[in-house]
Structure 1
């Protein structure tokens, strides 16, 4: 089986107003992007959470509110004469209300930002249950990609995870951490961000410090991922199991999500619920099964139960836990089952066909 991975998703335009659609398409064409078009809320729903930008026509605002489409970042309400009202905008959760053609320059810049030169892939990693090993896999993917010459950004998105920098042995590496970025609500200069972060070779990291747990705003996460796409070849995000606003923003911006599931019955049942939550925001999901399997569950059985394709099996690796305790980054030697699995996953993610194969 395979799951499609798209490095760039099209903005979504929701309108049945032919004149308004013509205006929006004209602006999008000037910015160099195509758009997905949905004529009503029913057609919009499958793409609503995944699109990087949603432009709702004034003619469909009330219908989208009635359909209870989820509130999200990157939502713009647009109309011709008369100008759409703030009441509809507030009910939708729209960030901006625009009237065309007067606001076409603003919309042109917003469309243009989506097709800027950033081409880095974003991969999110999620544990099917506590202690599944998602953070170790995220760190190993980043380390392996950097060893292979890719420019990598590793993002710790779990404020209660204990610190991804500890898994890499980077707690003493100087650089900007989340407390210095959490207030970001606009675009970041990609190169300036990379220069400010903890770094070793081609791998840079955004992590938490040892202070109080810090809730991450979705806007800060979106800004970091956008900058990461532009400056890096690969962005790897370690997500919390309980999806907060920042985790949802990361899933919405991801090209692919890896769900790590121990080969155990209860872990599989828990992972099924986590997978359902993740699938609301990222349709490209595959399963990494971690051994051992006390009840002899096969990796294929686990993936089938969770409901997503199998990305790979990670058998037990002697010495991995001991190495982590001594500050040795996972897969840093380039040898062993974990490093082998990471290379296979990275090859799949990087394929020109854009597929992650089982």
Structure 2
């Protein structure tokens, strides 16, 4: 129960709040946004927020976008509400990787003016649906930036819908990326098992770790001499999420417009399924 008033100095407001057992006393106009958010919570229904995972490459070409797509595809196949967010405007567009660059729906530039609260249901329905998941990607226009407040509002709306949200992150950390990092539950740093990649990943991890507390390393082979997945994790000082397996025929599948992780019995899909099982248990989510 919320009692809304306009005069902070009116003692009658507080007396009435005690009489009716109000949980909150709210004064307008200062509390307007809080009140709008609570009304929207009731209208939308508020449940467990989405398990939100960010994937970032330790160096260029590490395979972060491929893993992000595979995670989202695998979550959708397991019956979870799944949203894939492309946070890298210079990455070419995840809708292209999923074979849906011409699919109808909104892309990031359409949300550049978003402020305050974005409706979670409206967001989901406005996005392209590809392979049983929703995708928020970039278009092929000139816009390559979205204000941080818009990024915050859109990602918060996505999380309120529950299920899973997977974000493909760029390696540079700007204000918009920092807004994404602040809402992640888990980060996966994809690192090829070679010394130069480990050295580059160390710098990425240092920048990401300033905002994200739960950052784990996913190691991709083949391995250079003297390295294995545990040694890479030790050198970076990060928990090991596992070894990202090599997927035979992945390039041919992509050319045939089949997304990464589409084969439920493939090694990449198995890695993703096992990751979701562990992550859902750790966060108390439902498998």
Q: TM-score range by the shorter chain?
A: 0.7 to 0.9
* 2:185 is the counterpart of 1:238: no
Q: What pairs with 1:319-358 in structure 2 (closer than 5 Å)?
A: 319-352=249-282
Tell me how far 1:121 sits from its aligned partner: 1.3
* Residue in structure 2 matched with residue 306 of structure 1 by the alignment: 236
- Between 1:207-216 and 1:305-314, the stretch displaced more is 207-216
Aligned counterparts of 2:157 and 2:173: Cα–Cα separation in 1: 22
316, 335, 339: which one aligns with 2:246 = 316
Question: Residue by residue, what CA displacement relative to the aligned partner does 1:63-83 show, whole Å, maximum 9, x if unpaired?
Answer: xxxxxxxxxxxxxxxxxxxxx
* Residue in structure 1 matched with residue 66 of structure 2 by the alignment: 136
104, 108, 111: which one aligns with 1:174 = 104
Structure 1: runs of 5 or more not aligned: 1-28, 32-99
Q: Which has the higher contact order (CA 8 A, sep 6+)?
A: 2
**If the length of structure 2 is used for normalisation, what is the TM-score?**
0.83
Partner of 1:351, secondary structure, is helix
Partner of 2:140, secondary structure, is coil
Tell me how far 1:335 sits from its aligned partner: 2.0
278, 291, 299: which one aligns with 2:208 = 278
* Residue in structure 2 matched with residue 197 of structure 1 by the alignment: 127
221, 245, 260: which one aligns with 1:291 = 221
Classify 1:145/1:353 alpha carbon distance in 2 versus 1 (closer, same or farther; 3 Å). closer
Tell me how far 1:117 sits from its aligned partner: 3.2
- Between 1:325-334 and 1:194-203, the stretch displaced more is 194-203
CA contact (8 A) 1:142 1:154 kept: yes
Aligned counterparts of 1:161 and 1:279: Cα–Cα separation in 2: 22
CA contact (8 A) 1:30 1:108 kept: no
**If the length of structure 1 is used for normalisation, what is the TM-score?**
0.67
Question: Residue by residue, what CA displacement relative to the aligned partner does 1:40-67 show, whole Å, maximum 9, x if unpaired?
Answer: xxxxxxxxxxxxxxxxxxxxxxxxxxxx
Question: Residue by residue, what CA displacement relative to the aligned partner does 1:250-286 show, whole Å, maximum 9, x if unpaired?
Answer: 0001111111000010000100110010011110111
Q: How many residues align?
A: 259
Aligned counterparts of 1:218 and 1:118: Cα–Cα separation in 2: 24
* Residue in structure 1 matched with residue 189 of structure 2 by the alignment: 259
* Residue in structure 2 matched with residue 122 of structure 1 by the alignment: 52
Aligned-residue CA RMSD (Å):
2.4
Classify 1:107/1:197 alpha carbon distance in 2 versus 1 (closer, same or farther; 3 Å). closer
